[in-house]
Chain A
Amino acid sequence: MSTATTERHDVVGHSNTPILELENVGKSYGNVHALRGVSLNVRQGEVTCVLGDNGAGKSTLIKIMSGLHDHTDGTMKLDGVARRFGSPRAAQASGIATVYQDLALAPLMSVWRNFFLGNELRKGPLRTLDIARMKRICEDELGKMGVVVPDLDRPVAGLSGGQRQCIAIARAIYFGARVIILDEPTAALGVKQSGVALRYIVKARDAGLGVIFITHNPHHAYLVGNHFIILKLGRVVLDAHRDDLTLEQLTTEMAGGQELAELSHELRGIDPGKVIEPGEVEHGHVEAPALSREELKAVEREDEEEPRA
């Protein structure tokens, strides 16, 4: 894999123009400024990884690009032209497909109906649904992901979380024409399916698509990413190319530098192999882990930062 990685740079280089450009984009939910002054470029044939803490604004960012939300500041350009998507349907018409963090599946609808929802295949003069073909494609695509769904006519509500996630990923990969956005696609997946999802990301890139990959896992990000963006409290705090960053640096940056070192130091004292006598406690009698002075200060600093914005 590592040899392929180095070759890729030579072939593609940094020359191609971005398909999506965000300039100083901001988004407020009422008085909550979820995103502030975010600028980034998404290029075709590249994987752009977006990382950051819970609540950093990652999902908000991709919801703007997938047409679910409208940004409140700045401009978004598609192929160099300023655009606002009125709806996810408009974004899809521009070739952008998304795996949402909450998956966006209709629980009572069958697997194949969910797979083709909004993109139904039709045939004949009456524009009847081509059910046989949709089922076949759906089964094929899920089979390629290594998931076996027993009955494509069963409602998705009865499937496991990972199976549902696979349906959402397979759907986006199948319908993504130019850009594929994946919001924590591997969150509920087993080791094998995570591997398949990462391979799909690489495959999509090799097919010349732009991929935006959101994850909390720096190892996953570093396996496939060309570009790394770290968000913190709605701002971009790191925007680096793979060549300028090692996995260790990425991990450190994500964890906020010092914090990880401290955590590993602190956790060294916990004695992971230890087994304790069975016991019972009253409600609320499991002690909260004590935050160190630095951690408390970090939290305070973040609290201060909000009103200043």
Chain B
Amino acid sequence: MTATATEPSRGLAARDDRVATRPLAARLLSRPEVGSLIAAIVIFLLFMAVAEPFRNVANVGTILYGASTIGIMAVPVALLMIGGEFDLSAGVAVTTSGLSASLLAWNFGLNVWVGILLALVVSVAIGAFNGWLLLKTGLPSFLVTLGTFFILQGVNLGVTRLLTGNVASADISDMDGFATAQKIFGSEVTLGPVNLKITVLYWVVLTVIAAYVLLRTQMGNWVFAVGGDAAAARAVGVPVRATKIGLFMAVGFCAWLSGMHLLFQFNTVQSGEGVGKEFIFIIAAVIGGCLLTGGYGSVVGASLGALIFGMTQLGINYAGWNPDWFRTFLGVMLLLATLVNMYVKRRADLR
């Protein structure tokens, strides 16, 4: 028991000579978003090669618009997945939000902005309810949100028919506040040959904020922890319940943002819309490197996943292929991207 043997001085803390320092490339390659980045580049090059209109700069706006409508939801869904949970109700929750604003304003003759704020409350409350029920019952989020998925789907159809006698909400474009709201949620700017929808701006801003929160704040640290091992996180003092409920509320907030765009883009909302979208958000997150089991993933990756969707959706069209194949293409993409993720990560970890 000599002091020198047990307490090596700090500077000398003998570096273990079995480990070499890792090259920068290896460290970059072990990032979770690398698979989606490779996939995005490959798909971009593919459609550049085969689809003539894809090369037209004016179409950039259209492609980015498609990507943004998915990306706005894929970002919070990715955060939630890193936090260890799913939200299968995310797709129909967008419709619920749009319908709430529209039906409340129209039915009670309110200013459109009052409807918008009420819809925000409804959307965030749905998220909070999902989180609360999950923690209260201890059921897996897959089941809980499958329940809310069906409930919301039914409510969307039922309430809309009850109030309007129709399957869509009434056109609210002549109501007070509509013009300003449309500026906020549905406008577009022209940059040279490119027309950019405002959703693209929201998507980019959301991605930047979420990536910052995830990697550079205490909240982000907690998100990784509750997804990786909730019991361990609780044991060292992470407020697990608040973190998870907060994540569900973030999904609710983004569903509201998407729902408002839906409403002010088309002036009316189809009550059956949104079904199946939840899987697209989840797939974007998975392509972006999020583990289904939680505790690992990337927001930037999820946005790249959304971009892949945007490019594919239009690229198939532009290439003149039969759009029936879109889903097949997506399935293959999903498998390839996850395999690349796994392969690249394993290789990088070994270096």
Contact = CB atoms under 8 A, between A and B. Distances in A.
A171 B231 CA distance: 17
Interface in A180-202: 192, 195-196, 199
A106 B6 contact: no
A109 B228 contact: yes
Interface string B224-255: 11001101111111110000000000000000
Given A109-B295, A144-B10, A195-B1, A104 B221 contact: no
B235 A127 contact: no
B8 interface: yes
B5 interface: yes
A104 B6 contact: no
Interface in A132-169: 139-140, 143-144, 146, 148, 150-151, 153, 158
B228 A144 contact: no
A195 B1 CA distance: 8
Nearest to B234: A88
B14 A148 contact: yes
Contacts of B6: 146, 192, 195-196, 199
A81 interface: no
A interface SS class: loop
Interface stretch (A25-33, A114-122, A206-214, A279-287): A114-122
B197 to A, nearest CB: 29
B88 to A, nearest CB: 24
A150 B19 CA distance: 6
Nearest to B224: A109
Given A117-B221, A144-B7, A128 B229 contact: no
A121 B217 CA distance: 10
A131 B212 CA distance: 13
A100 B235 contact: yes
A201 to B, nearest CB: 13
A98 B235 contact: yes
Given A109-B224, A117-B221, A104 B10 contact: no
Given A88-B236, A192-B5, A196-B6, 10 more contacts: A68-B234, A88-B235, A104-B235, A106-B229, A108-B296, A117-B221, A117-B225, A129-B220, A143-B8, A151-B19
Interface of B: 1, 5-8, 10, 13-16, 19, 21-22, 27, 216-218, 220-222, 224-225, 228-229, 231-239, 291, 295-296, 349
25 contacts: A88-B235, A92-B237, A104-B232, A104-B236, A105-B229, A106-B233, A106-B295, A107-B229, A108-B224, A108-B296, A116-B221, A117-B236, A117-B238, A118-B233, A118-B238, A122-B217, A131-B216, A143-B8, A143-B10, A143-B13, A144-B7, A146-B7, A150-B16, A150-B19, A151-B22
